[in-house]
Structure 1
Amino acid sequence: MKAFTRGILASVLMLSGLATANAADRTIIVLDASGSMWGQIDGKPKLEIAREALRSVLTTIPADTELGLMAYGHREKGSCSDIELIVPPASGSASAITAAADSMKFLGKTPLSAAVKQAAEDLKYTEEKATVILITDGLETCNADPCALGKELDQSGVDFTAHVVGFGLTAEEGRQVACLAENTGGKYTQATDAKGLEDALVQTVAAPAPAPAPEPARAPEPAKPEFNFIPELTLAEGGAPLKDAGNAWEIYKANADGAKGERLTTEYNNYKGSLEAGTYVIRATLGEAAVEQPLNVEPGQAYKPLFVLNAGTLIVRPRPSEGADIVDGAAVVLDFPGGDHRATYYGQAKVVLPAGETKLKVTIGQGEANETIQLAAGQTIEKDVIVGVGHAVVNALYAAGGEKVDASGLDVRVFKAKKKIDGSREQMTHAFGPDSKFDLPAGDYVAVVKMDQAEAEQPFNVRVGERGNVTAILDAGVLAISAPGAKTIRVFAAKKDIQGNRKEFGYEYKDTHQTTLPAGDYVVEADREANGGKKEGTATVHAGERSELTIQ
């Protein structure tokens, strides 16, 4: 679990190039407190991981950082308006935020767009600089468009930035919320484990103010109209120079030992410039390939150096099966020459890479394909990578032929059908809500669906290139309980076991409770500590039906 906790801190370190909030900024953390945060990673609920990450990071922030906490889905199930500013932004608020997160319930929907907008308004984003950091493990469930919201806030704000941390989202899901950050000049980070989340918070909340940008290179003097630096770039020795290829020219002063010193400027494409007399290091980059060489500029001289990248072009088209469409959400991981160099792209990828051996890994859902490619300088290789997966959509019905379970709290887990020697099954993936979609390698699986206290299993088979619907029957109904004045409501099976005990089926610390239960007979206990002690009622739950019980 320590390695896992280190994992929620790693993903947000991907924001290291971002201009993060400094001590003078006012920032609100928006925390997803929806029911899906009860989902587990490595056997530990995501909500506990989030609490631990906040507790760890908030001890490191500067004392004058004005920081607040907002949450959604922490008070009501099924409500799109359950949004609350729990800790207003203020300096010295770290302990209050930690305490609030530790005591928070996680049970509702995911109105992330409305929460981010409310946080922006609380920060007076149309009048002052404001930053919002959204931590979410799910997608918008309240009929709002995060992408459109990002554009709206960027256009109407003075200096507004939203950063988004996708906690436990798939690559495809991440693309659906990343635009909220990107449309405001912020950064999206995908945290797949504990360290990823903690690192994300370090970068967005606790990071020091960024160093001031270097002064721009001096413009050519009007008296010197002629360019004295006209570089050219080619992929391979003897190859044609590249034109408007999207390449960059990084120009550095050279130190006394010839190494790169202060960076003066970065220019692009077919650059022509005028450099003052002196020694420089010029670095040319295109895609993942780079080359650098020294340059000594003398007065009155012009230079047209040729930079050879020694690189080729790789085009990867990820497909789930032969003849299928390219999957935009597929992750394309490239491990290319030049030391420990790795890069990740999504969907169809066209990348310039250093010549040599590149290891390629493509993942679609739970499917993975690996290949090794030998790329020569100046060569272009186009590659269709077939991952070999089928597509399954999992739903649950309360009863055979009855109503579909249409709730974000529906927990869907997919296991391999074959049991291990100890009788357990290997879990492949999980999701929340109806119409849960999975890309899986061919084989036999079992879908385990759970809604509140009702659970069912449904075996299914996946074939490469095929789509299938999987429906599990919960054989359950909904029991709605009202016990005016009660402090606690507990639900038990009516039938006692051989020891005279009843099995408990959940509880609620208020005077109303609604839950999904397997069909059967139940005893409900309402505890009125202040006025009358415990009272009981009985109820029968029928599959596919709603039952109501009032205990006076």
Structure 2
Amino acid sequence: MRSFLALCLMIGSGTPSIAQGALSPILFIYDASGSMWGQLDGRSKKEIASDVLASSVSALPEGQHIGLMAYGHRRKGDCDDIEFLLDLENVSKSEITSAVSKMNALGKTPLARSASMALNSLEEANTKATVILITDGIESCDGDICDVVAKAKLDGIDFKLHIVGFGLEEGETAQLECAANAGGGKYYDAADANGLQEGLSEATAITIDEPANNFSVYASKNGEPVDAWIHVTPMGSKKVMDGSRTYRDTGWVHLPSGSYNVRVTPLEGTDIPGTGFPIHMKENEPQHRDVSFDGGSAEVSSTNNGEGWDSMVKLYDMSTGDQVASTRTYGRSKTMEVPAGYYKVTFQALVIKGPDTYFEMDSVMIEPNMTIPISHNFDSGTALIGVRTANGELIDATVNFHDATTGERIDGARTYTSPNNNPRSFLLDPGTYQVKIVTLGEHQGHSKTIEVTVVTGETTTRTLTF
């Protein structure tokens, strides 16, 4: 078994093996227990973890000190099968990759003993490090890793512990989450290779050298934690400055003093697209936000003269002006799930033409876990415009309706010479219109403007003869 004794002696004697001001070491604790032969998507977890770890290590900065520790790789059933394979003096990425690829997977999962050995070595060496534990199982020997980590913090050992759980079942992660929290780091739940890559990428970026996190978000729905992205953008900028992920826990980021817009987007369990809010950070004043996706529902519908009607309905966050949800009714009620809050609701009637086909209402409150009915009725009438000769021959003509007050063109069409279109039907807001008719084809050259009043629920017919 290799140990950190040499490292302890070098640091204790002042040997500049890890230069002052350099990046603090990263120590990987690697699971080589027998369960790593389990399959995910047709590949063993051992093979997946080896490939992903190699990829993550290759992305580390040049000169980064990287240690490697493993358990369960030499003997079955031995809770003391724990070994330092590469100490923290190592800067070779290929050494890590080679050691992991050659490792067998045989034994048990002594999480508490492995953590204790790693953290005690840091204490003896009087150095700080980021420790990243990769495991596909829970403790199978005596001990509680959370207790070990919490005690190490109380003893003043300087470290940050991240834990990546790989292919664990629901209900198996509590002790690992506890240990990661106690170690000032995060627990990442990886169900597959992509999840493992994401977890390791973030874990290797959030090191002991990073400034202390000072802003946190906890996302939930109906009292249960929800995995969510946290994106932070400085006010006045469109570039995302920092981000994190909650992994059904508390997500943390470090933010310098200043003003920011925060966007929290759920990754599971809801149709809610996310929520945003401003924050103002001050030095030495950490902040926390609880974000609930206990959304309410808006049941929207629209009618035309009291009958179900097709409309576009949109909801806008009153605080930000952002569109949060939209739907098309197709003459029926539609339900949209949105975060609780106040909304502007807009209705745009389809097919009907006129100045009053758009309607909006402000400060509509959507309460958590409630469905709020929201409806609007549009009024309309029909105008039939026919164009023909004195002997009844149908004439092709353009027909254009203009607002009688503003002169704005509201609608228009051609009559053609087919009885299907002549008279031409127009569905319009009630009101008075100036209608200009211009003949086409063999009867071209004639023009006339008439006034037509459209009445709610009624059909007004006008036939022009040329």
Task: Specify which structure has the bigger relative contact order, considering alpha-carbon pairs within 8 angstroms and separated by 6 or more residues.
Answer: 1
Question: Which is strand-richer, 1 or 2?
Answer: 1
> Shorter-chain-normalised TM-score: which range?
0.3 to 0.5
Larger radius of gyration: 2
- TM, length-normalised to structure 1: 0.39
